[in-house]
Amino acid sequence: MAEIIRIHQHKESFNEAIKDLSNLCSEDLHSINTLVLEKLDSSVPLIQEIGKYLILSGGKRLRPLLTTSCFHILNSDLTNNINHIGLAAAVEFIHAATLLHDDVVDLSKDRRGKLTANEVWSNKTSVLVGDFLFSRSFQLMTKYGTMETLKILSDTSVIISEGEVLEISNDKNLEINEDTYFQVINGKTASLFSAACQVGGISGGAKENEQKALKSFGTNFGMAFQLIDDAIDYSSNFETMGKNIGDDFKEGKITLPIILAYGRSNKEEKKFLKTVISKPDENENNFNLTKKLLTKYNCIKDTMIRANHFADIAIESLSIFRDNEYKSALIKLIETSIKRLA
Amino acid sequence: MAEIIRIHQHKESFNEAIKDLSNLCSEDLHSINTLVLEKLDSSVPLIQEIGKYLILSGGKRLRPLLTTSCFHILNSDLTNNINHIGLAAAVEFIHAATLLHDDVVDLSKDRRGKLTANEVWSNKTSVLVGDFLFSRSFQLMTKYGTMETLKILSDTSVIISEGEVLEISNDKNLEINEDTYFQVINGKTASLFSAACQVGGISGGAKENEQKALKSFGTNFGMAFQLIDDAIDYSSNFETMGKNIGDDFKEGKITLPIILAYGRSNKEEKKFLKTVISKPDENENNFNLTKKLLTKYNCIKDTMIRANHFADIAIESLSIFRDNEYKSALIKLIETSIKRLA
C-alpha cells in the first residue's frame, strides 16, 4: 500500500512540473492555443471537427512548451522574423498528425481514455486528416520560420517516419538490438522533442553552442521519457494491483524491458516470450509470468538505468545557460519524469 | 471496330505527346530520376524497397515534366539559387505519397496493372512510407527551393488533403454540386499540376504575370485531365467491348458524369443510381444500365464540354510566352489529353 501512494505522489509531481512550466509560459501557451485553433479552420467541416477532437482533448502541450521555454531560457527580448509561437504550433501539428497515423497503424481504440479518431470516424479519415495536419504544420513553418528552422523540422519529419517504419519492420522481432531500438524511439519521441527545443532556441537567437545544447537536451529528454514510458507499461501492479495489463503487452509491442528479458532468458523462457509476443492477448497469467521474467533479469531496473543515463545528459546539457526560472522548470520536468517510476 | 481503332490512335497520340516532352527534357528527366533514386535512400530497407516499387514502376513523370518544361518555356539560362530539378523531384515525392495514401483510403488492389503497395505489404506500411515520402519532399523543397516555392508547395499540400477529406465527406452523396466536385478534383489533381508548373516557372525567373500564367495553365490542365479521366472510366466499351467495368463505378465513386446524370434523372432513375452507387458491385448489367443513363442525358458529352472549357483556358494562358518547342509540346499535351476521348 505504501508503494501505491509513493507512485501516485511521483505522478503528481510530474504533472505539477508540467503545470509549473505551463504557468511560467502561460501567455505564450494562450497564444499557441489561439493559433492552433485558428489553423484548424478549414472549408471542410470534417477537418475542423476531427482536428478539434484531437488537439483540444486536453493534451499537456509538452512539445510546444519545450519550444517556448527554450525560447525564454535565453533571456532574450529578441524580436526577429522568427516567431516561436508559430513554430510551437507547427510542432504541435506534427505531433497531432503522427498521433492520428499511429493510431491507424496500431489499430488503437482509445487514447487518454477517449476513443481514438479512427474509432470514431474511420481509418481513412484519420489518414487524410493526418495529412492535412502535417501539411498545415509546413505552412506554419514557412510562415513563421526560416530556412534553418524548416530544415530542422523537415529533417525531423523524415526521422520520425523512418523510425516508425523501422518499428513495424521489426514487429515481433525479439532479437532487435538496443541500438536499433534506440533508433526507433529516437524517431518516435526524441527527434520531435529535440526539434521543438532547437527551433525554440533559434527563435530566441541561440548561438551555435546554445543550439547544440538545446538539441541535445531535447533528444536526451525524449529518450529518457520514452524509456520510462516503456517501463511504466509493465508496472501497473503498483498502481492497480495487477488488474490492468499494460498496453504494450496487449499489443505484443517490443520495448526495451522485453528486449533485455529476451536476451537474458534461457531457451524455455525465450520460447515463452516468443509465444506471448507473437500472439498477444489479455491473459493476466501470461502478463504476470512476463513480469516475473522482467524482475528475474532486472529488466525494469536496467531500463531505468538507461533512462537515467539519458536524463543526466539532458540536464548536463543545460549547464551552459545561466540560471533562470525556465532552466529550473525544465530540470524539474526531467527529474520528475524519471521519478514517475522511482 | 472503327471506333476501337480511333480510340487507340488517340491514346497513342497522348502517349506520343508525353514522349515528345520527355525527349525535349531528357537531360533534366535523367537528373530528376537520379535525384529521386538518391533520395529514396534510407537506413530503413523497407522504405527503399517500397519507394522503388512505387516510384520506379514506370509512371510517366507527368508532374516533374511540367516543372521542368515550365522552367524551359521561359528560355532562361538563369542560374539562381533555386534548382528546378530538386523541385521537380519534390513534386514527384508529394505525388507518390498521395498515391500511397489514396490506395489505403480506397482499399485499392491494383494500380497501372501492378499490385498496390498496401496489397503487397500492408496498409500501415503504406501510411508510414507515405509519410516518409511526404517528409522527404519537404526536405527537398527546403534544400532546393526558396520561401516562395515552399509556400506554394505547402499551400498545395493543404489543398490536396482538404480535397481528399472533402471527397470522403461526400462519399456516396449524389447531390454534391459541380462546384464542390470541382473543389475535390482541384485538390486531387489540379493543385499539384498547378504548383508543379508554378515552381518550375519561378526557378526559371518568371515575372509575376508569367507565374500567374503558369499557375493558371497547371490548374486548368489538371481540371481538364481529371474530367477526361472521369469520362473515360465510363467508356470502356469502346476499348474492350463492354468486358471491363470502370474502376470508379466498381468503387461507387461519385464523378461528374454521375453527378450530371443524377441531377437530370427522373425519380425512378435516381433510385436506381442511388442503389448502384451505395452498393457498388461488378454487375455488368448495372454498369450498362448506368451507361445508358449517361448517354440518355448527354453526361459524357457534357463532361467533355467542361473538360474542353478548362483545356481552352489552359492553352490560352500560355499566349503570353513567345513560341518555342516547350510551349508547343505543352499545348500538344493538353490537346491530346483531351482527345483521349474524342
Mean pLDDT value across residues B167-182: 94
Q: Which residues pair with A114 in a beta bridge?
A: A111
Residue A238 C-alpha, separation from nearest chain B C-alpha, in angstroms? 34
pLDDT tens string, chain A, 342 residues long: the values are: 334 444 555 666 999 999 999 999 999 999 999 999 999 999 899 999 998 898 877 788 999 999 999 999 997 766 665 799 999 999 999 999 999 999 888 888 887 778 888 888 888 999 999 999 999 999 999 999 999 999 999 999 999 999 999 999 999 999 999 999 999 999 999 999 999 999 999 999 999 999 999 999 999 999 999 999 999 989 865 444 334 667 888 888 999 999 999 999 999 999 999 999 988 777 788 999 999 999 999 999 999 999 999 999 999 999 999 999 999 999 999 999 998 876
The confidence score (pLDDT) of residue A238 equals 44
Q: Is-contact A166 B123, C-beta < 8 A?
A: no
Q: Which of B71, B90, B80, B60 is nearest to B28 (CA)?
A: B71
CATH number, domain B2-341? 1.10.600.10
Is the alpha carbon torsion for A72, A152, B68, B113 positive or negative? negative
Decide: helix, strand or coil at residue B47.
helix
What are the extents of the domains in chain B?
2-341
| DSSP codes of every residue in A218-277 | HHHHHHHHHHHHHHHTT-HHHHHTT-SPPHHHHHT---HHHHHHHHH--HHHHHHHHHHH
- What ipTM, to 2 d.p.? 0.90
- C-alpha–C-alpha distance, residues A96 and A107, integer Å: 16
Residues 136-165 of B with CB under 8 A from A: 136, 138-139, 141-143, 147, 150-151, 154-155, 157-158, 160-162, 164-165
- Picking from A46, A124, A158, the nearest residue to B139 by CB comes out as A158
What angle is formed at CA A164 by the lines to CA A163 and CA A165, rounded to 5 degrees? Answer: 95
Question: Which SS3 state, helix, strand or coil, does residue B83 take?
Answer: coil
Contact A115, B137 (CB under 8 A): no
Whether A104 and B125 lie within 8 Å, measured CB to CB: no
Buried b (16+ CB within 10 A) or exposed e, B146-172: beebbbbbbbbbbbbbbbbbbbbbbee
A251–chain B Cβ distance below 8 A for any pair? no
Indicate yes or no: CB of A150 within 8 angstroms of CB of B132. Answer: no
In sequence order, the 6+-apart residues with CB closer than 8 A to the CB of B253 are B247
Q: Which residue of B has its CA nearest to A144?
A: B147
**Count of other CB atoms within 10 angstroms of residue A171:** 14
B160 within 8 A of B187, measured Cβ to Cβ: yes
Q: State the virtual CA torsion across A190, A193, A199, A200 in degrees, nearest 10.
A: -150
Closest of B160, B196, B200, B50 to residue B114, by C-alpha: B50
Cβ <8 Å between B142 and A142 = no
> Which residues 6+ apart lie within 8 Å of B123 measured at CB?
A104, A123, B104
A138 to B154: CB separation less than 8 angstroms, yes or no: yes
